[in-house]
Every structure is written in C-alpha cells, then in structure tokens.
Amino acid sequence: MGADVAAIVPAAGAGRRFLGRIKKPFASLNGAPLLAYALSALEQSAAIRWIIPVVHPSALSSAAALVKRYRITKALPPCPGGASRAESVARGFAAVPRHAKWILIHDGARPCLGRRLVEQAVRAAKRHGAVACGLPASLTVKAVDERLGVRVTLDREHLWFVQTPQVFRRDWFARALEAADHRLGQFPDDAAIVEAAGFPVSMISGDPLNLKVTTRDDLILAGAILQRRGQRAARLRSSNRVRKNASPHHG
C-alpha cells in the first residue's frame, strides 16, 4: 500500500504561543519529545515508505538525534524549514524521492495521529487525487471585523474544521507549488495551495482527538489522550531500549 507515499512532517514553526524555553517539537510529552509521536505513527504505518521531517535550521542535529533514538527507519535526513509553514513544506517536497507518487503532509505538532487515519487518508487520496482530514463544524461560526463586531454568521452546515494528514497526487502538488511561487506564505494550509491551482480537494472525516499542540495547555491535553490510549514514551521504539536486548553485533 505504501510503496509510493512520502510523508512530509513540518515542525519548523517558531511556536510563539507555546512559551517554552525548549523548541516546541522537542518539548517533553509523557517523557518523549512531542515530534517523536507523529514520526512514530508514520513509521508504523504500512501506508508510508518515506518520512521527511522539516525543522528549524537550528534544530537539524536535534532532529537527527531524535530520528536515531526512536528508530524512525523510514526517515530521510531532516530538512531546514522556511519562513512560513508552506515554505517549509515546499522545502520538504524538494527532498521527496523521485519514485514517490503521493505526498502526505502531517503537522509535527499533532502527536495523537492514529495509523488507521493515515491509511484511510491515503486510500481516499488514491480515489480522489487530493484529500484533507477534518471535522464538520459543531459550533456556530461568526466572521467579525477589526473591532470584533459581527459581520456575518456563517452557515455551519457547509463548514469543516481542517486537520492533517492531507494527501495529494505528487504531480498535482508540484504544479500547485509552482503556481503559488512567491505567494506561499499566504496559504493557511496545504490543501489551499492545491485548491488555488484548480485541483479538486475532497474532505474525509478526521479524528476529534487529533489535536494540534499550540499552547502548553494543549500539551497537557495531548498527554492525557495518549495516556488513555496507553501510548507512553515507553511504547515508542527507542533505540536505547532496543540495544538492551540486542546482541553485540546487532544493527
């Protein structure tokens, strides 16, 4: 299933709302770095062949050490991110192997990714060409002006809250990036880049627990979700743990 799917994992943002001394991708979540969870979920998915982490240029060595420690064997060397999320994704895309025909993009700050959702997204993309995971809007949404005055109440029947993963045909995504050119920083997500190039994007149901860690409170909530699932740091494939049971000549 995953012989031709490459996953790009953007984790290069400044994390200004996170307010931590450690860069957000490396903040401790149940004893392991936040980024390790998304990478491990992709590593364990049969739908994925390659993984390209994209991190802040100053964090390349830390990301390489994380990949080694948690035995992310599908990972290619971490890429330095750009000035915006979309630019970081474009840099990751430039490192995708030429044999990849499909591109999956998942936020490094979404640690509660399940393998089932990865595989559902890839299958749906191979039917439709481009998909984004998300949830139907469950709250009333209002558009406001700069003074917070309500301009319009939107019809939530046709509104979705968008998540990742998002999956695209490689040729569509390449043409969309080329069309976006210097406007990459203006796009709110990867699907918007593809939509702007005229390609159809379909929505599929995501996971209500697939939250994005933006603040330290989110980190606490993600930790509770992972604990409920029994997914603690000890469950991640740390090479330190593997070496204890390995023979002196093992890998």
Taking the domains of the chain in order of start, what are their residue ranges?
A: 5-245
Q: Is 32 exposed, middle or buried (0-12, 13-18, 19+ CB in 10 A)?
A: buried
Token readout for 81 is 């991110």
Q: What is the predicted pLDDT for the residue at 13? A: 78
Amino acid 182: pLDDT = 86
Task: Determine contact, residues 12/91, Cβ cutoff 8 Å.
Answer: no
Residue 242 has a pLDDT of: 43
Q: Are 13 and 85 in contact (CB under 8 A)?
A: yes
pLDDT at 237: 61
- Are 92 and 67 in contact, with CB atoms under 8 Å apart? no
Note the Cα 11 to chain centre separation in Å.
Answer: 8
Quick one: which H or E segment has residue 79? strand 79-80
Q: Read off the DSSP letter of residue 78.
A: P
State both tokens at 39: 């990478």
5-245: what fold? Spore Coat Polysaccharide Biosynthesis Protein SpsA; Chain A (3.90.550)
Residue 247 has pLDDT above 50, yes or no: no
pLDDT score for 181: 85
Tokens 């090479």 found at: 239
Residue 14 has pLDDT above 70, yes or no: no
Task: Reply yes or no: is the peptide bond before residue 53 cis, omega within 30 of 0.
Answer: no
Long-range contacts, stretch 25-29, CB < 8 angstroms, 24+ apart? 25/55, 25/59, 25/63, 25/108, 25/109, 26/59, 26/62, 26/66, 27/213, 27/219, 29/111, 29/213, 29/219, 29/222, 29/223, 29/226
Question: What contacts 170, CB < 8 A, 6 or more positions away?
Answer: 6, 96, 100, 101, 102, 103
| HSE toward the beta carbon, residue 122, CA cutoff 13 A | 25
Rounded distance between C-alpha atoms, residue 122 and residue 5, angstroms: 8
Statement: residue 243 has pLDDT above 50: no
So what's the pLDDT on residue 17?
60
- What's the first-to-final CA gap in the chain, in angstroms? 26
* Residues 4-13: tens digit of each pLDDT: 999 999 999 7
Which tokens belong to 205? 């149901």
Percent of the chain clearing pLDDT 70 (strictly above): 88
- Cα separation of 151 and 171, whole Å? 39
| pLDDT for the residue 47 | 96
pLDDT, tens digit (0-9, with 9 covering 90-100), for 66-100:
999 999 999 999 999 999 999 999 999 999 999 99
